Every structure is written in structure tokens, then in C-alpha cells.
């Protein structure tokens, strides 16, 4: 008996099953998700990254930041993600598919050599700190294994008495006579990092509890108690 056709058809069937199950079906379910309208603020979540942050996404991709940093907060009870305060969304809430709607590409990452960056824009809002950390991580986190990204910075000779460039890093005592100026790539990358914040309240990732004393009661009088849940 010639079994060639049997092997061919079997292979075709298996591939088709895996394709329909894991490509087509998920695409039908979540492929056309839309941003969510937060009613009391009238804002959409997630927002499309724009301008410098969009360029920074390319820098993040080109330099393979995602090989060491994930962008996914696992649910409470699964690992220490929430306890490490990597979550956001005014409560201990995990990442959901809608968070990545505008990620191009989606760089969830597979390893945490460094910390998760889903909400780095909420944890660290200081641009200079982020630039300094990119230039010399060990100067801010002793013992860090992160490589310095000096190639994203220009080292310029300064003449005594000359005013430092507007965007130069704080002077480094180890490098007298020089100033360190971030390149466009470094600035874009930091803009991207600052834009990373999944603080939109979503139906599929509701706030589990309201943190006490986050806001004085008076300011919420206009909002109904259910304002944070999506009223469709």
C-alpha cells in the first residue's frame, strides 16, 4: 500500500487543526478588540503611543530590551508580580490582552533578567534618572548586571567655563572635561519607557479593591459608585 497520501493528509490535517485552534480562533476572539472608553474621564484606554514614544518603541525593539525585560504582570496569586508593585490600575491587577492593543510589535518577553517594565512609566517618572540609568546602571543600582548603553549617548569635550548643553546628564566627576549628551535614540527610548503605564480601568481587569485614602471623598460626589466599572 502506498502510504504517502495518508502521511500527507495526516500532516495537513494536524497543521490545519493547530492553525484553526491557535491562530484563527484566538484572532476571531481577540483580534478585533477596541480601546475602551472610560466614561467618567471620556478617555480611551489604551492610548496610541505617539511622537517620540513611538520612535522609542523602535529603539526598544532594535536593541532587544525584551530579551531581559518582560512586559506582563501576572495575576495576583501567581508569582510575586503584584506584590512587587509591578501592577498598576489603582489596584493589584494583571495585564490583559487589551493592554497590548497598540504595541508594535507586542514584546511581552520571555525572561526576567531585569524587572518587568509594564508600568515603568508609573514607577519611575524621572526622565533624568532613566537616562542616567541607561548610561550607567551601576551608578544607580549597585551590582546590577544590566550593560551600560553608552552607545546611546554622545561624549562631548567641554571647554572650561562653557555652559553645559541643555540636555547633558548631570556632570560626572570621573569624566572631567567631558559632558554626556543623550542621542535622539536615548531620548526616544526614555519617552517610550515613560509611556509604559497600564493604568486604564478595564472591564476584564477590574480593580479588586479601592485603595483607602487615595482621594478625598468630596471629589467623587459627582461620580456614581459604579463609575469605575464599564457601563455598556
Q: Among residue numbers 114 through 143, which ones bind another protein (CB under 8 A)?
A: 114-115, 137-138, 141, 143
Structural contact between residues 169 and 180, judged by C-beta atoms closer than 8 angstroms: yes
Nearer to another protein, 4 or 212 (CB): 4
Determine if 175 is a binding residue for another protein (CB under 8 A).
Answer: no
Q: Is 50 exposed, middle or buried (0-12, 13-18, 19+ CB in 10 A)?
A: exposed
- Nearest in space to 202 (alpha carbons), one of 72, 70, 99, 108: 99
Q: How far apart are CA 43 and CA 197, in angstroms?
A: 15
DSSP secondary structure of 153-221: EEEEE--TTPPPPTTPPSP-TTSTTEEEEE-HHHHHHHHHHHH------BTTB--SSPPTTSS-GGGGT
Contact window for another protein (CB under 8 A) among 37-45, 109-117, 174-182, 219-227: 109-117
Q: At what angle do helices 184-195 and 51-62 cross, to 10 degrees?
A: 100
Contact window for another protein (CB under 8 A) among 70-78, 160-168, 189-197, 213-221: 70-78
Determine if 50 is a binding residue for another protein (CB under 8 A).
Answer: no
Nearer to another protein, 118 or 194 (CB): 118
* Number of shown-chain residues binding another protein (CB under 8 A): 75
Structural contact between residues 177 and 204, judged by C-beta atoms closer than 8 angstroms: no
Binding mask 27-46 for another protein (x = CB under 8 A): x-xxxxx-------------
Provide, rounded to whole angstroms, the least separation between the CB of residue 117 and another protein.
12
Contact window for another protein (CB under 8 A) among 124-132, 145-153, 159-167, 176-184: 145-153
Select the residue interacting with another protein from 44, 54, 75, 76 (CB under 8 A): 75
Determine if 148 is a binding residue for another protein (CB under 8 A).
Answer: yes
Provide, rounded to whole angstroms, the least separation between the CB of residue 52 and another protein.
17
Amino acid at each position: 500500500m502506498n502510504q504517502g497520501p495518508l502521511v500527507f493528509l495526516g500532516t495537513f490535517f494536524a497543521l490545519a487543526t493547530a492553525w484553526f485552534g491557535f491562530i484563527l480562533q484566538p484572532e476571531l476572539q481577540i483580534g478585533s478588540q477596541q480601546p475602551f472608553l472610560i466614561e467618567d474621564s471620556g478617555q480611551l484606554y489604551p492610548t496610541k503611543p505617539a511622537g517620540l514614544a513611538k520612535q522609542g518603541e523602535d529603539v526598544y525593539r532594535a536593541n532587544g530590551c525584551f530579551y531581559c525585560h518582560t512586559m506582563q504582570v501576572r495575576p495576583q496569586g501567581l508569582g510575586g508580580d503584584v506584590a512587587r508593585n509591578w501592577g498598576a490600575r489603582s489596584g493589584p491587577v494583571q495585564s490583559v490582552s487589551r493592554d497590548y492593543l497598540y504595541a508594535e510589535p507586542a514584546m511581552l518577553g520571555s525572561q526576567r533578567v531585569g524587572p518587568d517594565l509594564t508600568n515603568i512609566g508609573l514607577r519611575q517618572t524621572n526622565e533624568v534618572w532613566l537616562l542616567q540609568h541607561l548610561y550607567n546602571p551601576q551608578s544607580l543600582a549597585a551590582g546590577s548586571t544590566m550593560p551600560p548603553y553608552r552607545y546611546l549617548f554622545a561624549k562631548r569635550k567641554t571647554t572650561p567655563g562653557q555652559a553645559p548643553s541643555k540636555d547633558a546628564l548631570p556632570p560626572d566627576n570621573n569624566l572631567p572635561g567631558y559632558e554626556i549628551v543623550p542621542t535622539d535614540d536615548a531620548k526616544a527610548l526614555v519617552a517610550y519607557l515613560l509611556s509604559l503605564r497600564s493604568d486604564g480601568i478595564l472591564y476584564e481587569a477590574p480593580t479588586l479593591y479601592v485603595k483607602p485614602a487615595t482621594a478625598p471623598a468630596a471629589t467623587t460626589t459627582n461620580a456614581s459608585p459604579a463609575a469605575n466599572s464599564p457601563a455598556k
